[in-house]
Amino acid sequence: MNYIKKTVQILSALLLLTSTVLVAKEVPVVKGVITIDDSTFTCMRDMTKVDGFYVGNLMGDVASTVKVAKSETGGHYPPGSVVQLVPGEVMVKHPEGYSPVTNDWEFFELDVSPEGTKIRKRGFSDVVNRFGGNCLDCHVKAEAKWDMICKTGHGCDPIPLTKDILALLQKTDPRCKSNEQLTEKEIQTLMQLKKTMAAMLKK
């Protein structure tokens, strides 16, 4: 089964798409600055799942973050909020005024493995993932009431992945210790996805 494990690791590193959250342990805040490093982000499924993505809060206010995520009318996420859709990308909300152009969101591109997380890129308006997509260019299309969070009906361009595939990527986060054994169909889906993503990276 080594090839299966290798496939999962490669996919987790390749598939860095729209927003959603990693594990949100509390981190220190000094003079309005949230300290973030590799150790901040762990198994995304340790967070709270809301409608297909995961959320948490680095400052401990998980309830307020979840409330906004579940709202049918939108709202502004509180500082410390973390939002994640796939293992390789995550958004973190900084205190008000930290980055007006991104509504105080910072974007992160991650390399993930069973050993943990390495922040590959981070920033605000200038983060471009390895597929050539600018994070802000996608999220800025969300209607104002959604605070730059993309999902169906929020105004963002659709992503080329089905809900089933997104769920499979979340299921195979290599940092999680409780990953279930994949079915043969799921293995084949991941193998095909790996080929597709590898071809995109060559362009």
Where exactly are the structural domains of the chain? 16-161
CB atoms within 10 A of CB 74: 14
* CA distances from residue 114 to 37, 89, 96, 130, 177 in whole angstroms, order as listed: 17, 16, 34, 21, 8
The pLDDT tens digits of the residues spanning 5-38 come to 444 343 444 443 333 333 444 554 445 689 999 9
For the record, the structure tokens of 200 come out as 């995109």
Q: Which pLDDT score is estimated for 14?
A: 40
Average pLDDT over residues 110-119: 97
- In the chain, what is the straight-line distance between the N-terminal and C-terminal CA atoms, in Å? 30
Is pLDDT larger for residue 162 or for residue 90?
Answer: 90
Find tokens 């043969």 and name the residue.
184
Q: Which pLDDT score is estimated for 31?
A: 54
The pLDDT tens digits of the residues spanning 158-182 come to 988 889 999 999 999 999 998 989 9
pTM of the model: 0.81
Average pLDDT over residues 37-61: 97
What is the DSSP secondary-structure string of 117-134? Answer: EEEEEEESS--B-TTS-B
Q: Which pLDDT score is estimated for 32?
A: 67
